Chains A and B, each alone.
Chain A
Amino acid sequence: MEPATHIPWIASHLWLIPLLPFLAGGVSALLPRRCRKLSAGLAIGAIGISTLLSFCALAESILRGLLPHAGRQWSAMQTHEAWHWLTEFTWFSYGTTSLKLGFVLDPLTAAMATMVSFVSMLIFIYSLGYMDRDKNFTRFFTFLSLFAGAMLGLVVANNLLLFFICWELVGVASYLLIGFWYHRPSAAAAAKKAFIVTKLGDIGFFAGLLWLYHATGTLQFYTPDHTGALEQATALAGLPGIMGLSLAGTIALLIFCGAVGKSGQWPLHVWLPDAMEGPTPVSALIHAATMVAAGVFLVARTYPLFQASPQVLTLVAWIGAFTAIMAATIAIAQNDIKRILAYSTVSQLGYMVMGLGVGGMAAAMFHLLMHGFFKALLFLGAGSVIHGCHNEQDVFKMGGVKKHMPVTFWTYFVGTLALAGIFPLAGFWSKDEVLTAAFNWGGGWFHKGPFALGCIGVFLTAFYMWRQVCLVFLGEYRGEKATVGHKQVGHEEAETQHETVPGVPHESPAVMTVPLVILAIFSAFMGFSGLPEHANLIHHFLSPEHAPHHVNWFVIATASALAFAGLGVGHLLYGVKPLAADEPDPLKAKLGKLRDFCRDKWYWDELYEATVVRFANIAAVVVDLGDRLLDGVTVGMGLLARGLSFINDKFDEHAINRSFDGSCGTVRLMGRCFAALQDGRVQSYLRLVAVAAALLAFWFFLK
């Protein structure tokens, strides 16, 4: 730990990073609808400055973390200990205790804040082009700023309560943005679904938060005197919790519930694909790059609690692995370009959670950061395609877009290879790290399970991405004739209220393609920050106390072979002979019923419909009956009360008021008599005095 006196400027002004977008959002909320440029300028300016500040924070952290003493060799540059800079303030006091909130700058914060703000900035710029003709442009940027502020607040928080507040704000912003086109019933329903499903997880998170406060008496992650909630994790591991877990494990499990909801892990993944109803930049921003990463970030932030409980880590690993494979199988049979990417996101989040579960916190965070870049790239690319194809989202009605939209194609191609994990793009290095961590996780078949599932996931990932690329970009354009009169109801309304004019696709404006190019460059080269072994800067940076893994050629070879196999199979099915218009998916013939199972998302929605929703409906009926019963009692009580009050009223009227009025009347009459004496004439007063004096004198003399 640095002494408190030596804190760099950026660490003590970390709060500026979330505050600026919040301010921008607050100001543009007050702007009238016509101030489009001002609102967008405010939002982009604020997030731009936040990005700069985040880069400052990152630079400071790198100086502190990787280069503690100038002149050392690279290999000896690790400090081998965790470190952080803290600032704290008191929110309010009650009695002798006070609730402290604070901000922390450590490698995790720095890396995450940089990724979030940078990607957000690019997406904001992209939105300028994408939301160009939307009449609620100002509102859109207000919500975007609110979202970015909340997300960055969550990243810099040094307090679980502050974290939770920002977490919920992120949820609200997400609700507002998914339901941005609230006039579409499907968008309104998706927004509600996202909000309610994530709230289920948040209940667990909140319970964990309260329990943590009860157990440690603080919600600060770290404190200067090492009594923060996370610094007491080892002590908590010794206390009993529930279900045979230690107290640390119990709390970690509850907190993980929140992460499951927010990061779309099974069984709460169902909201994420539906959230694609929002505008595409929102899908890119929230449901790919940043917000869903909040769950993974939460686990990474509270990782000491998880480390203290191997059972919970095992559960985390299996849930992650299962989610990864399940979502990948669903993704191979989807037709909607954004839904494919959405399930891909769920799947990649599964990888991250699996990475966390198998103890590779740095690997998971590395994958999160890389995924943020290439998934944002893919979503923005998909948005560009949708924009160019006149709001068509069905990949079977696209095709041959490559020659119309070259920039979009090449950037999308880079993103695809990065996601598939092809050497030497970002996804290769990060997925390799996660898989290596999974491979090294304990012994026995049980511990190899996540690794095996992850490997199958790699194959499926490459397959569905290449399927998508073939369908969208290669072959001939199938949309021209098919769009007229054939569109599904959900897509009938133009995404950005553009007029749906059938015709050839067109390239998007520069304001949309430039962010794509920047993201493509990052997706291509950022992976080199996480080369295996000693050159793994990101590992040294994020978890300096653990040595990185050795190069595992078996894992690299397996993963790469599977990725190429996936691409190959995808090309055989979709690339060699491009599909004609209205030709069915070749996968249908190959997989049969299994493909329907995947297309219908493993029937999770139907399962929930039949169980959770039905249960809720039955409960609603029961509660309604109880309500009616209670209502009857209430009405009876009301009638009784009215009867009593009638009697009371009469008594009041005749007994109490009448007598009181009588006495008042007497007083008033006397007052009127005496008031007549005081007529205001001086002479009558004098007369009274004279008569009184005479009478007094008379009485005096008679005595």
Chain B
Amino acid sequence: MTTLAHFQILASLLFVIGLFGAVTRRNAIVVLLSIEIMFNAANLSLVAFWRYSPHPEQLSGVMFAIFGITIAAAEAAVGLALVIVIYRYYKSIEVDGMRSLKG
């Protein structure tokens, strides 16, 4: 029997994996992929909460998840476009090399 707790543990694992990847990897595309994993962890968590809620006929959790997926898609598009621009500018997509945010 899979309970809500199982889902939440899985979602937490996914989130931590994504976060780890986002923080440690140097390739901008892999960072983006890690961020997608974190998104999906959140979506999984939302859907699980919906499934085990007292009123599953209200589709609020699913709606959240669908919005999240949509935003993730848009974010991926923008992110990849940024990666291309960054590549053109720096001739590299190593995030370590990008320090222009430093004040």
Contact = CB atoms under 8 A, between A and B. Distances in A.
Interface of A: 675, 678-683, 685-687, 690
A680 B19 contact: no
A679 B96 CA distance: 10
B23 A681 contact: no
Interface string B73-103: 0000000000000000000000110111111
A182 to B, nearest CB: 69
A686 B31 CA distance: 11
Interface string B23-55: 110000001000000000000000000000000
Contact of A683 (B23, B100, B102): B23
The winner among B19, B23, B24, B31 for most chain A CB atoms within 10 A is B23
B64 to A, nearest CB: 20
B65 interface: no
A690 B24 CA distance: 12
Contact of B22 (A675, A681, A686): A686
A682 B101 contact: yes
B19 A690 contact: yes
B96 to A, nearest CB: 7
Contacts of A680: 98-103
Top 8 nearest A-B pairs by Cβ distance? Answer: A680-B102, A680-B99, A680-B101, A687-B23, A683-B23, A690-B19, A686-B23, A678-B103
A675 B101 contact: no
A470 to B, nearest CB: 103
A249 B101 CA distance: 88
Contacts of B24: 683
Contacts of A675: 103
Contacts of B31: 683
A619 B19 CA distance: 98
Interface of B: 19, 22-24, 31, 95-96, 98-103
B103 A683 contact: no
Given A687-B23, A690-B19, A690-B23, A681 B98 contact: yes
B31 to A, nearest CB: 7
Nearest to B102: A680
A132 B101 CA distance: 80
Contacts, number: 33
Contacts of A686: 19, 22-23
Contacts of B22: 683, 686
B59 to A, nearest CB: 29
14 contacts: A675-B103, A678-B102, A679-B102, A680-B99, A680-B100, A680-B101, A681-B95, A681-B96, A681-B98, A681-B99, A682-B95, A685-B101, A686-B22, A687-B23
The winner among A675, A683, A687 for most chain B CB atoms within 10 A is A683
Nearest to B31: A683
A173 to B, nearest CB: 69
A675 B101 CA distance: 12
Contacts of B100: 680
A678 B23 CA distance: 15
Nearest to A685: B101
B98 A682 contact: yes
Contacts of B23: 683, 686-687, 690
A95 B63 CA distance: 78
Nearest to A684: B23
Contacts of A690: 19, 23
Contacts of B101: 678, 680-682, 685
Nearest to B25: A683
A475 to B, nearest CB: 105
Contacts of A679: 99, 102
A683 B31 CA distance: 9
A687 B31 CA distance: 13
B27 to A, nearest CB: 11
A679 B102 CA distance: 5
Contacts of A682: 95, 98, 101
A678 B103 CA distance: 7
Contacts of A687: 23
Nearest to B100: A680
Nearest to B96: A681
Contacts of B103: 675, 678, 680
Nearest to A693: B19
A682 to B, nearest CB: 6
A289 B74 CA distance: 100
B15 to A, nearest CB: 10
A686 B35 CA distance: 11
A55 B30 CA distance: 101
A696 to B, nearest CB: 14
Given A678-B101, A686-B23, A690-B23, 17 more contacts: A675-B103, A678-B102, A678-B103, A679-B99, A680-B98, A680-B99, A680-B101, A680-B103, A681-B95, A681-B96, A681-B98, A681-B99, A681-B101, A682-B95, A683-B22, A683-B23, A683-B95
Nearest to B23: A687
A690 B22 CA distance: 10
A679 B100 CA distance: 9
Contacts of A685: 101
The winner among A679, A682, A686, A690 for most chain B CB atoms within 10 A is A682
A679 B24 CA distance: 16
A690 B19 CA distance: 8
B37 to A, nearest CB: 14
A324 B23 CA distance: 113
A698 to B, nearest CB: 14
A661 B71 CA distance: 53
The winner among A675, A681, A687 for most chain B CB atoms within 10 A is A681
